[in-house]
Amino acid sequence: MTQRIGIGLAGFGTVGAGVYKNLLRNAALLEQRIGVQFEVRKIAVRDLKKARDVQAPTEIFTASPDDLLVDPSIDVVVELMGGIDLPLAFVKKAIAAGKIVITGNKALLAEHGREIFQLAAEKRVPVFYEAAVAGGIPIIKSVREAFVGNRFEAIHGILNGTSNYILSRMTDEGLDFAPVLAEAQKLGYAEADPALDVNGWDAAHKAIILASLAYGFWIDPKDVLVEGIEKVTAADIQFAHELGYRIKLLASIKADEKSFIEVRVVPTLIPKTHVLASVNGVFNAVAVKGDVVGEALFYGRGAGQDPTSSSVLGDLAEAAAFMQSPRRCVGFTSHDLYGRCKPVDETISKYYLRLGVEDRPGVLAQIAGTLAKADIGILSVIQPEGLVDGSVPLILTLHDAPYGSMKKTANELASLPCVKGTPLLLHMEAFS
């Protein structure tokens, strides 16, 4: 007999409505494939009177998320409310009530994953979260299951479609940040308040989840280097092009030879020859390097109603499988095979440094001398002709150096009388 599973949706915004719509559309397909009928029995929303593009029976709407938890006909709750405080309380109460939890809330998991999964383990209640990272790309399931026999040497990802769209347009059209951001907002790719997208934290939350899953302990957000794309200019993109690179907001997750972990999400110069350099527009991509599988690439839409709801449907199938055959895994397995996060200032990288300098003899010697005192070598120098805002651009690429030392040296360079304005320091990724 076909099993019927009751679902409670907490949130009926873009993704929640997409889940409801696509459950109805593909109900027969899901029943044929997994032998289950999913029935949405309650939907919790903030405003019962709000007009909605996707229609559902009015009698299943409620203004109280707790109604989903006390309803014995609901087996699985899907948290798509947004924010942190209310979803955290809801998810913890759902686990305590024995409801299987599905969430797409990346900020919630990045900030409170440790306590959520500790409670889930105690109650033996699974929490599924494929929709929290990279939209419709099945990266969580792949890292947790398909690559379970691998040690992860590195994971690199373009995890925010808004920033990737902006940098792609800046690259293709030679435009600066502000007009492209306005265009992205007009087209609906960026929110009215785009801060989390362009300041790097949306991608950082996703990187924290991936890193924690890959290395078996929850990464503290304060141990992650996060920088946004706001200071990148059209000139920087052109200089990177001349050097053989493209600039992307890149999440870099690595384990060093001593098993210490580093996580950073920063605008990064990527060699044009690397596959991630060709990921454009609103698309996401994740490159995984395991010690057994080698390199694997995942590519697709990282946001939007249908891609994200596709991941929720996959989690619903996982929930159904768990109900039919309960197992130990609750969505996250901790282990002690790795050390801890490497302090941000101790992480090593090559760098791109843009300075505005006076057009007179001896300036380059002063710059080189300051770098030499810090034991930082120069890889290449570009100094185009012509003044920009009263100074000449000086572009340097620099050898591997600790971030703390490089940051301190960049500040020392900024204080030199021959340097005008604020230097721009970007990472360069070699993928070695």
Last residue of a domain, one of 266, 301, 336: 301
Residue 399 in any domain: the answer is yes
Q: Are residues 247 and 210 in the same domain?
A: yes
Residue 392 in any domain: the answer is yes
Residue 178 in any domain: the answer is yes
Q: Are residues 188 and 281 in the same domain?
A: yes
CA–CA gap between residue 214 and residue 125 (Å, rounded): 21
Tokens of 329: 């895994």
CA–CA gap between residue 58 and residue 274 (Å, rounded): 51
Q: Is residue 49 flagged as an active site residue?
A: no
Q: Are residues 156 and 260 in the same domain?
A: yes
pLDDT tens digits, 19-39: 999 999 999 999 999 999 999
CA–CA gap between residue 134 and residue 188 (Å, rounded): 18
3-class state of residue 291 by DSSP: coil
Residue 400 in any domain: the answer is yes
CA-CA distances (angstroms) from residue 404 to 195, 325, 348, 376?
Answer: 26, 50, 9, 12
Catalytic residue among 206, 254, 342, 350: 206
Opening angle at CA 418, ends 414 and 422, nearest 5:
30
Residue 363 in any domain: the answer is yes
- In this structure, which amino acid lies at residue 275? V
**Predicted structure pTM score:** 0.95
Q: Are residues 177 and 70 in the same domain?
A: no
Closest CA to 76 of 312, 332, 325, 333: 312
Domain of 367, CATH number, reads 3.30.70.260
- What is the b/e burial string over 271-302, where b = at least 16 CB atoms within 10 angstroms of the residue's CB? eeebebbebbebbbbbbbbbeeeeeeebbbbb
pLDDT tens digits, 55-81: 999 999 999 999 999 999 999 999 999
Q: Are residues 419 and 399 in the same domain?
A: yes
Confidence (pLDDT) at 330: 75
CA–CA gap between residue 429 and residue 287 (Å, rounded): 13
Contact criterion met (CB below 8 Å) for 154 and 291: no
Opening angle at CA 82, ends 78 and 87, nearest 5:
65
Place of tokens 């690397």: 274
Residue 113 parent element (H or E): helix 106-123
Residue 318 in any domain: the answer is yes
**What proportion of the chain, given as a percentage, has pLDDT over 90?**
88
425: number of Cβ within 10 Å? 22
Residue 23 parent element (H or E): helix 14-25
Residue 216 has pLDDT above 80, yes or no: yes
Number of domains in the chain: 3
Tokens of 76: 């699985």
Domain of 53, CATH number, reads 3.40.50.720
pLDDT tens digits, 379-401: 999 998 776 777 899 999 999 99
pLDDT tens digits, 319-342: 999 998 887 777 888 888 887 999
Contact criterion met (CB below 8 Å) for 300 and 135: yes
Residue 176 in any domain: the answer is yes
Opening angle at CA 181, ends 180 and 187, nearest 5:
90
Containing domain of residue 129, as a range? 3-135+305-324
Residue 331 in any domain: the answer is no
